[in-house]
Amino acid sequence: MRIEHTYLLTFRTARQCLAILAMLLAAGCGLTDSTPPVGTAAITLNQSRVVLGGPLEMTYRFTVDPKKLSFADDYHVLVHFLDDDGHLMFTDDHNPPEPTSAWQAGQDITYERRMIVPVYPYVGEVTVAVGLYSPSRGDRLPLIGEHLGDRSYLAASFEMKPQSESGLLIYGDGWYLAESAPMDPNREWQWTSDQATITFRNPRVASTFYLELNGRPDLLETAQVVTLTVDGNVIYSLELSSPDQTFHAIPVPAASLSEAEMSVLTLTVEPSFVPSVVIGGENSDDRELGVRVFYAFLDPANSQN
């Protein structure tokens, strides 16, 4: 009898310990968070359907609680992209343009970011979760909003769509090999010569061509002009007056496309330059260069026309 009584006590004690542990874990995950929220967070997307590999423009807005006096640290913005089962696919964590240590009570902090949606093996509904976390302290701040667990909150959602065949670009003549900077090996670019071509399957519908690039007009006596033609038809012209990177969403009218199975987009740069010549021998690069392209993408599903 004594043994049975001891067993019952032990079982009851273990069950109580498990209940207490569950409550502690829930509190750690923010499910019973009693800490006052520091404010609200929201993300506005420029489109509700995004093709794999396509660009996504996001506007962030944080509103600090009027009673929040200050932040103990410079917190990073947590941005997690979750599939329809809540599993993490990819992130866009970043530092806000204005550090949180400078945020004031009642202040609205608004800024924009662009990301390229990875070519991830998933299509369907995507949930965007946002939060604020400290890399040095390891903590996260509570916010007002629909809680998704571990002090992350629902900020937006969109549909991720498969890439079309026309989105597979073939770089033809006039391109140099891809390059990257040692400090950021994941950020690649390719220089063009004075003229470069890209071939893609003819979408036969109005589309949008996205292009991020920069030139070096600072090394020249004039701005550089980039002209884009599709199947021989001029669709866009832009002037580069500074070496800053610029991003363009270029309409590709259906009327500019030929009847051929494949279409050819040509970038013509005027003037081009040779680094070893314009820098007066301080650079040994004797290539004829046009512009530096960081991103090119054709989306037949997102016409800007």
What's the start-to-end Cα distance of the chain, in Å? Answer: 85
- Are 79 and 114 within 8 A, CB to CB? no
Structural domain boundaries enclosing 184: 165-299
Q: Is residue 34 part of a domain?
A: no
Residues 214 and 88 in one domain: no
Spatial strand order of the sheet with 108-116 comes to 39-45, 55-64, 108-116
For residue 209, what pLDDT is reported? 97
AA letter at 102: A
CATH number of residue 176's parent domain: 2.60.120.260
Residues 288 and 239 in one domain: yes
State yes or no: pLDDT of 79 exceeds 80: yes
For residue 180, what pLDDT is reported? 95
Q: Report phi then psi at 17, rounded to 5.
A: -65, -40
Residues 145 and 50 in one domain: yes
Q: How many domains does the chain have?
A: 2
For residue 185, what pLDDT is reported? 81
Q: How far apart are CA 242 and CA 9, in angstroms?
A: 78
pTM of the model: 0.84
Q: How far apart are CA 205 and CA 253, in angstroms?
A: 7
Q: How far apart are CA 73 and CA 77, in angstroms?
A: 12
For residue 302, what pLDDT is reported? 63
State yes or no: pLDDT of 26 exceeds 60: no
State yes or no: pLDDT of 4 exceeds 50: no
Mean pLDDT of the region 214-223 = 95
- Are 219 and 279 within 8 A, CB to CB? yes
For residue 249, what pLDDT is reported? 97
Last residue of a domain, one of 141, 161, 181: 161
Query: pLDDT tens, 229-269?
Result: 999 999 999 999 999 999 999 999 999 999 999 999 999 99
